Structure 1
Amino acid sequence: MQPVLGAPLFVEYKEVTVTDPLRQGDVIEAVDENATKWQRHLLILTADCDFANDKNQGRVTCVPLLTQDEYILEFQIPRLCEKVIKKCVEALQMILSKADGPHISAERLREWPLEQAPADIVSALHLEMAASQSAEKLIDAIRKVSLPTGNLDHAVQRLVSASVDVPNGKSLGNAKRDVVSALRSHYANPPGDALFLSAIAPAVQDGYFVYLRHLEQVRQQDIALAPTHSPTSYRRLARLNDRFIHAVSQQFASVFMAIGLPNDYEEMREIHSELLGERYK
């Protein structure tokens, strides 16, 4: 999206000079153009006091900065696809049950569409015409959303198409609106392990998600702060503004400090809550 002419361009980073020491919130970029998405752009989490007092022993802890397309493809598209697959599998099992067809496990119904064409699967099931047409649409929908793709546009198109074909499917317009709405919701309200940033450096402004559950460690000596002839693995690009550094640090702490409590405890807590409610009926 292009900024409005005349409007100030908001960015979450600030530029640094070669004399600025390496610090928490610095954005670094892999020198290797073939680096994976988990290593291409990294955000440094090592605390400033650890750098200042050399407590990090020369190791720099980072988290990846994924492009918005990479993040959505990795974490959001699969969640939406799973809903479609589950609905299709349940509908297929219902069709087979009503037709006195073979009992096929849900796991197998997920796998089969990736092995054979929908028409071949329906033929093998020996269903009557009406049932076979419905089954073929469901099998095709499972196939569409299960096939891997590295392109977000293709993934969205397949998901929309499959959402039309499921039982009580939506119209094309409504399906597209609902899929897009679900994806957009993660910008303002991402899960606790992610945070959206519109820009991370002067030439890197296409929208990114900090993903806090994947840690990378880089040797401090492998990060170049200025142009150099020495071999390095990363170069520093910029530093996040203080408010965003603090937000990421706080969110990172909350992800790894959360302590799960046993189900028995939660059930007992619910009992006490209900007893309190009974007191005031």
Structure 2
Amino acid sequence: MAIVDTSPLGQGDIIRRTSRTDDIWDQVAVIVTADCDIARDKHAGRLSCVPLIPVSSYLAISFLPKRISRIEIAIYEKLLAIMRQNQIALLGPDAVAISPKRAKHWLLSTEPLAICRRLAIPDEQVESFVALADQAKRLTASADQSFDDQVARICESEHALGRGESAKLRTRLSNDIAAHLRDLPGDALFLRHQTSDGSDTGYIAYLRIIREIRDERVAIKASQMSYEITHERWARLSPPYIYALTQRLGNVFSAIGLPEEYEASRDECGSLLIGNTDAS
């Protein structure tokens, strides 16, 4: 265990599961229950926690898939142009052009060489068409893969589109990721944790998910470890970060949107207060 003191559990304590799980939302969490509620036993023995997920996992869920989608569009548009060009050459200018949806389905369900033969794509275009079609399949499949796989497919695909060399593309993507982390949405807070072996790990506190964990199942010292224990205290946030997290958590759930009808009614009321001053 990273923290060896026996002070009571409190707001800002970071806990982690004692058993292995592949669910990134249920591995590490930070306690957000107020210290005064814990001290006065107002929390009924239940600790409210928000999940901490590795930065790479967060990016693989929230940031990289959007980039993959944009690159996908560019690749499939390029493939579609080649397919339509050869479709016209094969069937004549009056042929009904293949739709983007049908073309994508065909590319994902059929070997590229078979498409080349069906559309009579010239030999000098076959190699580049097949390579681009294979890359499109790998890119589409990467949307549900790991951060490293997504990064690799993004850079490969942009290189295939002629957008630069791999090293420069990785640098550009790295800069974009850094910019995204500087401007996270209000429901996410970046936290950096130095582990006991000295390595740095970045986490995102995701504030839209709140889970309850019974405090009796969280160990704060090694002697408490037993089969009934599900979590252990691992680390603790320092005051500035506890306050920032609490403030953001409140902002996430205090913002209340109102319907468009309300907005229209308000604007109309404002316009009618003065009325029509046209003398004519």
Query: TM class by shorter-chain length?
Result: 0.7 to 0.9
Runs of 4 or more consecutive aligned structure 1 residues displaced over 6 Å after TM superposition = none
| Equivalent residue for 2:34, pick from 34, 47, 53 | 47
Query: Residue type of the partner of 1:170?
Result: G
Query: SS at the partner of 2:26?
Result: coil
Give the Cα separation in 1 of the matches to 2:152 and 2:63. Answer: 14
Q: TM-score, normalised by structure 1?
A: 0.75
More helix by share: 2
Aligned to 1:87: 74
Aligned to 2:92: none
| Equivalent residue for 1:218, pick from 213, 234, 254 | 213
Aligned to 1:158: 153
Give the Cα separation in 1 of the matches to 2:37 and 2:62. Answer: 32
**RMSD between superposed Cα atoms in Å:** 3.3
5+ unaligned residues in a row in structure 1: which ranges? 1-13, 273-281
Asked if 1:239 is matched to 2:226, the reply is no
Deviation of 1:161 (Å) = 0.8
Deviation of 1:152 (Å) = 2.9
In our comparison, the structure showing a higher alpha carbon Rg is 2
Give the Cα separation in 1 of the matches to 2:125 and 2:208. Answer: 45
Instruction: Encode CA deviations 1:202-231: one digit per residue, 9 max, x unaligned.
Output: 457322222222332212221112221542
Query: SS at the partner of 1:119?
Result: helix
Conservation of the 8 A alpha-carbon contact between 2:28 and 2:53: yes
Asked if 1:139 is matched to 2:133, the reply is yes
| Equivalent residue for 1:17, pick from 5, 18, 29 | 5
Structure 1 residues 240 and 140: CA distance shift in structure 2, 3 A: same
Query: Residue type of the partner of 2:243?
Result: H
Q: Give the number of equivalent residue pairs.
A: 255
Deviation of 1:171 (Å) = 3.7
Identity value in percent: 28
Query: SS at the partner of 2:213?
Result: strand
Query: Residue type of the partner of 2:237?
Result: L
Deviation of 1:30 (Å) = 0.4
Deviation of 1:110 (Å) = 5.0
Query: SS at the partner of 1:69?
Result: helix
Structure 1 residues 229 and 161: CA distance shift in structure 2, 3 A: closer
Structure 1 residues 102 and 23: CA distance shift in structure 2, 3 A: same
Q: Which moved more, 1:201-210 or 1:33-42?
A: 201-210
Aligned to 1:199: 193
Query: SS at the partner of 1:199?
Result: strand
Q: Which moved more, 1:220-229 or 1:116-125?
A: 116-125
Query: SS at the partner of 2:64?
Result: helix
Q: Which moved more, 1:216-225 or 1:150-159?
A: 150-159
Q: Which moved more, 1:242-251 or 1:182-191?
A: 182-191
Query: Residue type of the partner of 1:185?
Result: A
